[in-house]
Amino acid sequence: MPVTWTISTADRLVSARAEGIVTLTDIEALLDDIVVKDALTYRKMFDGRGAIGQYDDADVMSLGARIQAYNTLDLSGAAAIVVDTQERYDVALRFANIAKAKRPIRVFWDPQSARTWLDSNPTLEDSV
């Protein structure tokens, strides 16, 4: 499975890691589980280091639209995306901008910095 995750109710944290070839369907499975487990308000850390995205611009736009739909519920927790290449950074930044989330979102180069930021109770002003 290219995307694995845990949802911790105690920590109010979703931790996901993607490795190998990742498609829109893989990301949608993660999002579906977050919704089903009522974890939209939880903080989220997505570690995309080592992932190879197999998607096109339409997929990115579709994902952004889905996140915007969640925003209408005003239930989104802060999100940190971890990357390891400039290309992945650019894609993550594009996603963050397309999603126009009503929540703090930021792209990081290492998971420790991402977790520290998530634990700091970031605000919208702390976003990308």
Cα(45)–Cα(15) distance, integer angstroms? 5
Number of domains in the chain: 1
Report H helices in 37-108. Answer: 57-71, 86-99
Q: Per-residue pLDDT for 18 more than 90?
A: yes
Instruction: Tell me which DSSP letter residue 110 carries.
Output: S
Residue ranges making up the domain that contains 23: 3-126
| H or E element, residue 106 | strand 105-108
pTM: 0.88
- Mind listing the pLDDT tens digit for each residue in 53-84? 888 888 878 887 887 777 777 667 889 999 99
The CATH number of the domain holding residue 34 is 3.30.750.24
pLDDT number for residue 53: 85
Residue 123 has pLDDT above 80, yes or no: no
